[in-house]
Amino acid sequence: MDHAANISEATCEIFSSMVMLDVSPKEARQRTNPAFVKSISGIVGLAGRVKGNLSIHLPADVATAVTTAFLGMDVAEINEDVCDAIGELANMLAGAVKTALDPAGSDIKLSMPSTVYGDEYSLDCAHCGISVLVPFELDGQEFSVELLLAET
């Protein structure tokens, strides 16, 4: 299964239809830097036939711009509205990836979305052997969507 293509297609579709922003995928790669700096990550866990998580990672200024477009209100800093918006984007992305992984829709369950943000933080997935990170460009800035799966 081409996880990078699924992530690219889902992200472009969700950003175009729900956020009203066009994003451009770049070539998929492994995450090389374990720490995120001045960023926010929305995370949804996957359980069942497939275990792991789907995350969207955005620098703070990209997250506020995305939230402004998504909610139609000016947002200048990471706050509860940004956390909610980024969590909801992670939830929509995880739902789209779940559909690709489990077309019948009954073998994979999704957790509630959560967010993590700060000046510097790290995220890891214990026992995840498959890692696909797809960077996206938005108005000259970059964010990424990452799928981590335990090998079965």
Q: What CA–CA distance (Å, rounded) separates 73 from 50?
A: 37
Per-residue model confidence (pLDDT) at position 37:
94
pLDDT at 151 over 90: no
Beta bridge partners of 121: 36
Mean pLDDT of 83-96: 97
User: 55 with 45: CB under 8 angstroms?
Assistant: no
pLDDT at 83 over 70: yes
pLDDT at 132 over 70: yes
Domain definitions of the chain by residue range: 3-150
CATH 3.90.470.10 fits 3-150, yes or no: no
Asked whether the whole model's pTM tops 0.75, one would answer yes
| pLDDT tens-digit series, residues 112-130 | 999 999 999 998 876 778 8
Per-residue model confidence (pLDDT) at position 6:
95
Per-residue model confidence (pLDDT) at position 68:
97
Q: SS3 for 76? A: coil
pLDDT band of residue 93 (cuts 50, 70, 90) is: very high
Instruction: Dig out the tokens for 20 from the structure.
Output: 């009203």
Per-residue model confidence (pLDDT) at position 34:
79
Per-residue model confidence (pLDDT) at position 64:
97
pLDDT band of residue 152 (cuts 50, 70, 90) is: low
